[in-house]
Structure 1
C-alpha cells in the first residue's frame, strides 16, 4: 500500500507543495517530524523494504515518529534507522 496524505491520522503537519517529492534512499537531509511530506516519505520507504504495510501499521509508524522519535534523530537516515531498530526491528 502506498500511503498518501489522507491516510495520515495527524492534522498538525505542514505541507510544501513547491518542493519536489522526496524519493530514493533516506539521506542526511534534515528530518522534520512535522513535515507531512517527509513523514509520508519515511513510511513509504519502510513499506518498500518490508514488502507490505497495512494502513494500521503505517499509522503506528506515524504515531511512533510523532511521539517517540528522539531529538537526536536529526536526519532522514537517522530517523529511518531509529524506526527500523527501535519501533519495527523485523526489517
Structure 2
C-alpha cells in the first residue's frame, strides 16, 4: 500500500500547493545526503517523503500510520528542521512520543 493524495487529511488546498513535482532526484533520496531542503508546503514533496519514510517499514503500514506522519509534519515539525534527513530523523525520534494515532 502506498499513501495517495486522496488519502491525505489536509488535501483541501489550504495547507499544500500542488504546482511543483516532488524532488525525487534529490541527493537525500538517491544517496542519503542530509543537505537537501524539504518544502513542507509542497504537497507532492510531503506525499513522496511519507511514502519514502514507510518503504522499509516492518510489516504493512496502515492508513493511520501515513496520516499520523502527515499530521506530525503539518502540526508538530519544528520550523528549523529544513533538511530531508533531519526531518526523517525527527519523525522517527518522536513517533512514539506523539500520543494521537489517527484512526
TM-score with structure 1 setting the length = 0.80
Moved runs in structure 1, 4+ residues, more than 6 A?
A: none
Aligned to 2:65: 57
Taking the aligned partners of 2:50 and 2:16, their CA distance within structure 1 comes to 15
Taking the aligned partners of 2:22 and 2:94, their CA distance within structure 1 comes to 29
Aligned to 2:38: 31
CA RMSD, Structure 1 to Structure 2 (Å): 2.2
Does 1:69 find its partner at 2:84? no
List alignment gaps of at least 5 residues for structure 1.
none
Taking the aligned partners of 1:53 and 1:88, their CA distance within structure 2 comes to 15
**Can you list the C-alpha shifts for 1:10-58, whole angstroms capped at 9, x where unaligned?**
02211135x4652635642211212111111221112112142111111
Q: Tell me which structure has the larger Cα radius of gyration.
A: 2
Between Structure 1 and Structure 2, how many residues are aligned? Answer: 88
Taking the aligned partners of 2:74 and 2:43, their CA distance within structure 1 comes to 11
List alignment gaps of at least 5 residues for structure 2.
98-103
In proportion to residue count, which structure has more helix?
1
TM-score with structure 2 setting the length = 0.72
3-state SS of the aligned residue for 2:55? helix
Taking the aligned partners of 2:22 and 2:54, their CA distance within structure 1 comes to 20
